[in-house]
C-alpha cells in the first residue's frame, strides 16, 4: 500500500530571513528526513508545488524568505527516490580540463562526485568520467575493458571540489608516485570555517596522529596519541569575516579527512561539515556542502621534470557562499 505524503511544517525565525527558498528547504529536509537531497530534487519538489509558503504553493526556488513565513512540505518518499535515481543516471557535463599533455591530465572535480565507481552502477564517478572523455576523443566505444589507461595518485572527498591529477601514460607513474609519497607535491586548499569567540592565530601548524573512529556515516578521523598515522598540515588565515574565516591549508601528508579533522581539532570546523561539528550556516548564509576546495597542485612534471603548477578556480557554490558571507558584514 502506498504511503501518503509526509507533512512537515516550520516557521522562518528572525535571523533566517533573506535565505533562498531552495537553500533553506535543502537544509530543512536533510535534517527532517535524515538524508541529503540533491539540488535538482529540491528544485523539482518546489516547482511541483510540494512546498507551500503561508498555505500557497511556492513554485519559485529562488524566492527569498521573510521572518514569520510558514513553510509546509508535503514529501512523497517515492517521488524523492525517483528523482534521486534520475539524477544518478542523468549524464553530467564533461569535467573542466585544467591541464593536459601527453602524460598528464588534470580536471576540476565538482563537489558531490565520487572518485571511484561504487556498488551502485548508476552512480557516476570521476575516474570513469575522465576515461570516457578520453575514449570519445579517440572515437572509441565505451567498452569497460578497452577504455584508455588512466592512473590516479591522490583523491578528494566526495563533497570536496578542486583539482585532481591523473596520469595518461604508465611511464609517468613511478616518478609521480614518488613525489606524492615523499611530500614533494605542494597541495593548497581553501576552506571556509566558523569563527570562534577567541583570537585565532594568523598561521599555525598541526602535527599529530590520526585514526578512524566509529564507522559508516559517523566515521571520522580523530587524534590518536598511540597508533594512527602521522599527519601534518600548515594553516594560514587569508580573510577574517564577521561570522567566518577563509583559511588556506597546505597538508604535508595525505591522510583521509586530514584537513577536516585538523581544523575541527583547532576549534575551526569547516562550515557545512556536519560530521566534524561544522555549523550548517553562518548568519543568513547556508553552506551548500562541506566548504573545502582543492585550489592547486605544484610539482615537477614526472617525465620532463619541469616545474608545474595546476590551479582550479572556485566553483560557483563556493564563491557564492563566500560572497554571501562578505555581504553579511552590514547585516545584523
Spatial separation of the C-alpha atoms in residues 179 and 175, rounded to whole Å: 6
Spatial separation of the C-alpha atoms in residues 195 and 269, rounded to whole Å: 9
Spatial separation of the C-alpha atoms in residues 264 and 277, rounded to whole Å: 7
Spatial separation of the C-alpha atoms in residues 289 and 293, rounded to whole Å: 11
Residue 34: half-sphere exposure toward Cβ, Cα within 13 Å: 2
**Is 157 among the residues known to form the active site?**
yes
Q: Name the residue among 277, 271, 279, 276 with its Cα closest to residue 317.
A: 271
Find the catalytic residue in 22, 103, 157, 273.
157
Q: Give the DSSP letter string of 255-293.
A: -TTHHHHHHHHTT-PBTT-GGGT--SEETTEEPSS--EE
Q: Give the DSSP letter string of 151-189.
A: EE-----TT-EEEEEEESSGGGHHHHHHHHHTT-SEEEE
Give the pairing of strands 307-311 and 292-300: antiparallel
Largest Cα span, the chain: 65
Q: Annotated catalytic sites, by residue? A: 157
Amino acid at each position: 500500500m502506498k504511503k501518503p505524503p509526509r507533512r512537515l511544517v516550520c516557521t522562518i525565525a528572525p535571523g533566517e530571513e533573506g535565505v533562498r527558498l531552495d537553500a533553506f528547504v535543502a537544509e530543512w529536509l536533510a535534517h527532517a528526513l535524515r538524508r541529503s537531497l540533491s539540488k535538482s530534487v529540491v528544485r523539482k519538489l518546489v516547482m511541483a508545488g510540494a512546498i507551500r509558503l503561508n498555505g500557497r504553493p511556492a513554485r519559485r526556488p529562488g524566492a527569498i524568505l521573510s521572518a514569520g513565513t510558514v513553510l509546509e512540505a508535503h514529501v512523497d518518499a517515492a517521488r524523492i527516490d525517483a528523482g534521486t535515481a534520475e539524477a544518478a543516471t542523468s549524464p553530467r557535463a564533461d569535467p573542466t580540463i585544467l591541464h593536459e599533455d601527453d602524460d598528464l591530465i588534470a580536471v576540476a572535480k565538482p563537489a558531490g562526485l565520487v572518485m571511484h565507481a561504487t556498488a551502485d552502477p548508476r552512480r557516476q564517478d570521476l575516474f570513469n568520467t575522465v576515461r570516457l572523455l578520453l575514449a570519445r576523443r579517440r572515437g572509441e566505444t565505451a567498452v569497460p575493458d578497452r577504455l584508455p589507461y588512466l592512473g590516479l595518485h591522490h583523491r578528494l572527498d566526495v563533497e570536496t571540489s578542486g583539482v585532481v591529477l591523473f596520469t595518461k601514460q604508465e611511464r609517468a607513474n613511478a616518478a609521480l608516485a614518488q613525489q606524492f609519497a615523499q611530500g614533494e607535491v605542494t597541495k593548497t586548499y581553501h576552506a571556509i570555517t566558523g569563527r570562534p569567540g577567541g583570537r585565532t592565530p594568523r598561521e599555525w601548524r598541526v602535527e599529530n596522529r590520526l585514526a578512524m573512529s566509529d564507522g559508516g556515516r559517523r566515521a571520522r578521523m580523530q587524534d590518536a596519541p598511540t597508533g594512527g598515522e602521522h599527519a601534518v598540515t600548515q594553516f594560514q588565515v587569508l580573510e577574517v569575516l564577521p561570522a567566518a574565516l577563509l583559511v588556506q591549508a597546505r597538508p604535508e601528508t595525505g591522510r583521509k579527512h586530514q584537513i577536516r579533522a585538523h581544523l575541527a581539532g583547532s576549534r575551526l570546523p569547516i562550515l557545512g561539515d556536519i560530521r566534524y561539528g561544522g555549523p550548517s550556516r553562518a548568519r543568513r548564509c547556508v553552506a551548500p556542502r562541506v566548504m573545502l576546495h582543492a585550489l592547486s597542485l605544484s610539482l615537477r612534471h614526472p617525465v620532463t621534470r619541469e616545474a608545474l603548477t595546476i590551479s582550479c578556480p572556485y566553483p560557483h557554490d563556493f564563491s557564492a557562499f563566500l560572497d554571501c558571507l562578505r555581504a553579511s558584514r552590514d547585516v545584523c
